[in-house]
Structure 1
Amino acid sequence: MPTPETLERFISLVEANAHAEAVEVFYAPEAAVRENQSEPRVGRGAAMAREHAIHAKARSMTSRCVRPALVHGDHVAIHWVFDFEWLDGSTIHMEEVAWQHWEGERLLAETFFYDPAQRTPHKAER
């Protein structure tokens, strides 16, 4: 189970848009990450690569935890709100719930639950 301090440090890094750093610091080397019911990305390196790829497409982003994060033993649920502005000027507003399984101070497995329709970009108004 993560300590409250560990969980707050993790959330703070994500809210600072340091997503890949949060993965590097807190995910176990063998961590598995999945979105909805997709096949998991296995390994901290795969999770970091995904974060770098998303950031490379974004002009700007904001990441916010809707508190409280819920903790029960080794399980944590976090409600996230993300706003992206892509390089082409289109935007996405997403809300998701991350269901996490921690082993001590390391995140071992995570599933993001969200409505996939949110991933459709909105074109910039001219």
Structure 2
Amino acid sequence: MPKPETIEQFIAMVESNEHDKAIEKFYTIDASMQENQSEPRVGRDNLVANEKNTLQKVKSLVSKCIRPYFMNGDQVVIRWYFRFEWKNGTISEIEEIAYQNWQEELIKSEKFFYDPKQFTSM
């Protein structure tokens, strides 16, 4: 079970737009991430590479935890707001729910729930 301080550190790192560094620091080596019903991506190195690839396409990014987050044992649920200004000049605003399974102080698996229509650029 993660300590509340650990969750706060994770949230602070994401809100600082250090998404790739947050994965390196807070995910197990064999962690997985899943977008809605898509196939999960597996392995911390793969997750970091995918995040870096996404961040390279971003001109500016706002990342915000919409509090409160919820914790029950090893399960943590965080509601996020993201605003992407892409290098191609388009903007995407999304809200998502991240459902995390922690293994002690690290995230073992995470599943994101969001409406994919939110990625339709403005």
Relative to the length of structure 2, the TM-score reads: 0.99
Tell me, in whole angstroms, the C-alpha distance in 2 between the residues paired with 1:16 and 1:77.
19
1:93 correspondence with 2:88: no
Once the two structures are superposed, residues 24-66 of structure 1 have per-residue CA deviations (whole angstroms, 9 ceiling, x without a partner) of 0000000010000110000001111111011100000000000
- 1:34: which partner in 2? 34
Tell me, in whole angstroms, the C-alpha distance in 2 between the residues paired with 1:50 and 1:70.
26
1:120 correspondence with 2:120: yes
Tell me, in whole angstroms, the C-alpha distance in 2 between the residues paired with 1:121 and 1:44.
29
**Percent identity between the two aligned chains:** 48
Tell me, in whole angstroms, the C-alpha distance in 2 between the residues paired with 1:2 and 1:22.
15
Once the two structures are superposed, residues 88-117 of structure 1 have per-residue CA deviations (whole angstroms, 9 ceiling, x without a partner) of 111000000000000100100000000010
CA RMSD in angstroms, aligned pairs only: 0.5
- 1:64: which partner in 2? 64
> AA paired with 2:92?
I
Tell me, in whole angstroms, the C-alpha distance in 2 between the residues paired with 1:37 and 1:88.
27
Structure 1 SS opposite 2:66 = strand
Moved over 2 A (4+): none
Structure 2 SS opposite 1:70 = strand
CA apart distance, 1:121: 1.1
Count matched residues.
122
- 2:47: which partner in 1? 47
Tell me, in whole angstroms, the C-alpha distance in 2 between the residues paired with 1:52 and 1:120.
21
- 1:19: which partner in 2? 19
Structure 1 SS opposite 2:56 = helix
The structure that has the greater radius of gyration is 1
Relative to the length of structure 1, the TM-score reads: 0.95
